[in-house]
Structure 1
Amino acid sequence: MIDIFKDYILQREELLARIAQELQLDKTRLERMETAYNTVADLLKKDSDFFNDLVIEIYAQGSTRTGTTVKPINDKDFDLDTVLHIYDPYYKHSPEDIYNALVKALEKDSYYKAIMEKKKRCVRLNYKSDFHMDILPACMPNSFEKEVIKIPEKALKNWSSGNPKGFSIWFLSAANTASEPLLRKNFDSLVKAQVETEKLPQEVYFKTPLQRATQLIKRYRDIYFQDKDYRVSSIVITTLLGQLYQGENSIFETIDNVVKRIKDNFSVAVNQGIRFKIYNPVNPEEDFTDSWTSSHYSAFYSFIADFHIKWQNLKFSFETSKEDYIKLFGEGIYKKALNEQIVAFSKSSNNVFTKASSLITTGAALTNVQGNINSNTGIKNESHHNFGGKY
């Protein structure tokens, strides 16, 4: 049976997967959001003024579609981005027409009228739960292309192009180039080594290193830009990771290598006196950095460089990297994931400190007259969830 605490690389990888799993939106929340946009779609299909004669679909885009969701920090609402895909050529309508038709259809319903907020080119529904939904109306570029969309510009006077379905296919294709992910390779051994009560979904070990890497970097982005301007967008992070990923088989290697490649590419562009540009991989005409100022570039590089420095400290041991884990992902998330890992694998380990920590965490620890922590005799120790010692 595997002793994960004797294999730092495997333990670190398993911990990173647990942290990422803890960060992502849970299945119940995702199902609630899916129900929300399907309900809106059903309402629009019954609209006699505009939509009932059209074939339409509402679907998620962004992180929900790529499997890289991250819970907002500080109890903020999750931003669910959706597309109202109208399967009709855009030249039959104006951007203003489809936007106004969406607003009008929702205003007919008292509930949606009460929670609706008009944005520049989309409509936001502010649900009382823990998310809001932005609905971006879109049409087809012609009668043949089913995935590419034409979307209103912010002034609602012109159209621009998009392809959220194509982007997610591109990203997931890149993610699946990993030949033998470390956790998937060790799946049977990891499962057998855990206590009987541990019920982790297979997704913890089977989600790709690229998806996990994206989640973890986005988490530090949220922490880093809490009190800073020019926040780097998720689409920029996701695109760069997808473009520079080379099939690494671990979360750690993916982040370590890709972040270095980002830094190197940025430095090359600066040294050559050219702008560092990030293009949409499924729509080369779209430059995600076209509106960036020098302040945007400075904030972007400072964030990447800062992340890279902290990440280097994770290479050696938990004794030297504990504070960096906390700075990168948050103290609560890190300690919860680490505590759960220790409890899960403590029975398969011969490490006395690990076993004692597991007993204390679960509230099953007793201290005998010799001062040794055990589960059989002595005075009961109070349970806690603030473990941070050696590991």
Structure 2
Amino acid sequence: MNYIAERAQLRQSQLADLIEEACQHLEPSSNQREVAQQRYEGVGDWLSRSEDPLLAEIAIRLQGSVAIGTTVKPIGSAEYDVDLVAHVPDIDIAISPSMLKRQIGDRLRANGHYAPLLQEMPRCWRLNYANEFHLDITPSIPNPGCPLGGELVPDKMLKSWKASNPMGYRAKFERRAKLRARIRSAFGRTLGSTIAKDSVEPYPEEMKLNGLLRRTVQIAKRHRDLEFIDDTDGLAPLSIIITTLASRAYEFCVGNLVYNHGLDLIVDLLRRMPDLIETRVTDTGVEWYLWNQTTIGENFCEKWNKHPERAAAFFEWHTKLISDVERLAAAQGLDDVRRLLGDVVGRSPANAALDALTARVNTARTSNNLSISKPAGLILGTAAGATPVRGNTFFGDAR
């Protein structure tokens, strides 16, 4: 096999390992997840046992990043969001959002433990667990006008219901995340593209290997957080926009193209994200649309049409994201990798990832347990046909 191709395959494999490691440092710890699960199940149980006839059939479900496995902890804070839907089925649409929200709030306030934690937000109730996380509980009812099984949630002013579909969105994202990319191996093989075959829903299992789509969303969200760390004007791109564009681009990429390695796919799908935003030229300027494909009438870019500076901020940020990820993909040597990975995900996760991975490799090397396998690249351990590695560290740096 060509030595240059082998080294390129090895370097890209190592970079993919580092990105995976860094993304794990962006997520809540196992202990935080366990505490969040307990809090979530407790709130769900309390609401579902209400004697209020209006809440008799209430169902508590997860939505957002925790539900789909793309959570990124806020920079400089241990807290993160856990978004819940308090869905009331079989209820007349004539009920006002403010009334349903008030009934849910009254039930939460009746619990002496929840009352001091309760904070009213424009569309939901928030339970603040200091230095841990907060639970946002949004009321919803069925949307009789949506053939896709959509829901209605309160608008910001609580004066009317607006279309949404948290469960449908989650199901579509998960279906896309299961798609497998076709990766052209440097060793002459192409991995085929395939699809991997109560009142309170279970909290999701912790995912150690989140897959390319989820990791790409986490990378983009963290880069967004770094670029807009001082944002006080609401210009930072919304997570729902980033997640939707990434998942649609991923579906196109894995369904139509073959890549040399996973990083090629990450760069390509990130690059294609803006192509999926619909634009319309009007007499007053440009309008942007990113429709929720799981319901009717929800435009994730709605605020851009009232605040075009948010659209400009998105495209400027996206250009910087592509530049930083492309530079990381082309990095040579540990110092460059450490610096460029830090530009994408932050210094602390980058350092933690490099230190942890380097320690594992050095331990394996010391015990003669590190080798190169043509199908797999650098591996910890031994395998049939693998060649022991002793002379180099990551990315060709000499010991």
Question: 1:217: Cα distance to partner?
Answer: 0.9
- Show the 5 A alignment for 1:1-391: 7-51=10-54, 54-75=56-77, 77-91=79-93, 93-142=95-144, 148-179=150-181, 203-204=207-208, 206-228=209-231, 229=233, 230-245=235-250, 246-247=253-254, 251-263=262-274, 274-292=286-304, 293-319=307-333, 320-346=336-362, 347=365, 348=370, 350-352=389-391, 354=393
Corresponding residue SS for 1:217? helix
TM score, norm. by length of structure 1: 0.77
Residue identity matched to 1:354: T
Residue identity matched to 1:262: M
Q: Deviations over 1:208-244 (max 9, x none)?
A: 2111111111111111110134111110000000111
Question: 1:116: Cα distance to partner?
Answer: 0.3
Extract unaligned runs of 5+ from structure 2: 1-5, 188-204, 372-388
| Counterpart for residue 190 of structure 2 | none
| Farther-moved stretch of structure 1 (172-181 vs 99-108) | 172-181
1:117–1:124 Cα contact (<8 Å) kept: yes
Question: 1:171: Cα distance to partner?
Answer: 1.0
| Farther-moved stretch of structure 1 (95-104 vs 274-283) | 274-283
2:338–2:354 Cα contact (<8 Å) kept: no
Residue identity matched to 1:313: R
Cα distance change, pair 202–266 in 1 and its aligned pair in 2 (3 A): closer
| Counterpart for residue 360 of structure 1 | none
Q: What's the C-alpha RMSD, in Å, of the aligned pairs?
A: 3.4
2: distance between equivalents of 1:222 and 1:74? 11
2: distance between equivalents of 1:99 and 1:268? 35
Extract unaligned runs of 5+ from structure 1: 186-200, 356-388
| Counterpart for residue 365 of structure 1 | none
1: distance between equivalents of 2:121 and 2:354? 41
Cα distance change, pair 181–118 in 1 and its aligned pair in 2 (3 A): farther
2: distance between equivalents of 1:143 and 1:298? 34
Cα distance change, pair 21–28 in 1 and its aligned pair in 2 (3 A): same
1:318–1:390 Cα contact (<8 Å) kept: no
TM score, norm. by length of structure 2: 0.76
Corresponding residue SS for 1:134? strand
Residue identity matched to 1:8: R
2: distance between equivalents of 1:122 and 1:267? 30
Q: Deviations over 1:271-290 (max 9, x none)?
A: xx743321112124111111
Query: Which has the larger helix fraction?
Result: 1
Question: 1:321: Cα distance to partner?
Answer: 4.3
Cα distance change, pair 112–274 in 1 and its aligned pair in 2 (3 A): same
2:78–2:131 Cα contact (<8 Å) kept: no
Residue identity matched to 2:343: K
Cα distance change, pair 92–285 in 1 and its aligned pair in 2 (3 A): closer
2: distance between equivalents of 1:260 and 1:268? 17
Question: 1:307: Cα distance to partner?
Answer: 0.9
1: distance between equivalents of 2:309 and 2:61? 34
Q: Deviations over 1:153-201 (max 9, x none)?
A: 2222211121111101111111222145799x9xxxxxxxxxxxxxxx9
| Counterpart for residue 381 of structure 1 | none
| Farther-moved stretch of structure 1 (120-129 vs 84-93) | 84-93
1: distance between equivalents of 2:211 and 2:106? 42
Residue identity matched to 1:69: T
| Number of aligned residue pairs | 339
1: distance between equivalents of 2:116 and 2:207? 38
Corresponding residue SS for 1:58? strand
Question: 1:4: Cα distance to partner?
Answer: 9.0
Identity in percent: 26
1:136–1:151 Cα contact (<8 Å) kept: yes
Residue identity matched to 2:11: Y
2:279–2:289 Cα contact (<8 Å) kept: no
1: distance between equivalents of 2:83 and 2:398? 42
Residue identity matched to 1:341: L
1: distance between equivalents of 2:157 and 2:269? 37
Q: Deviations over 1:287-313 (max 9, x none)?
A: 111121221011101110011111121
Question: 1:49: Cα distance to partner?
Answer: 3.2
1: distance between equivalents of 2:390 and 2:222? 32
Residue identity matched to 2:289: K
1: distance between equivalents of 2:183 and 2:114? 45
Cα distance change, pair 321–268 in 1 and its aligned pair in 2 (3 A): farther
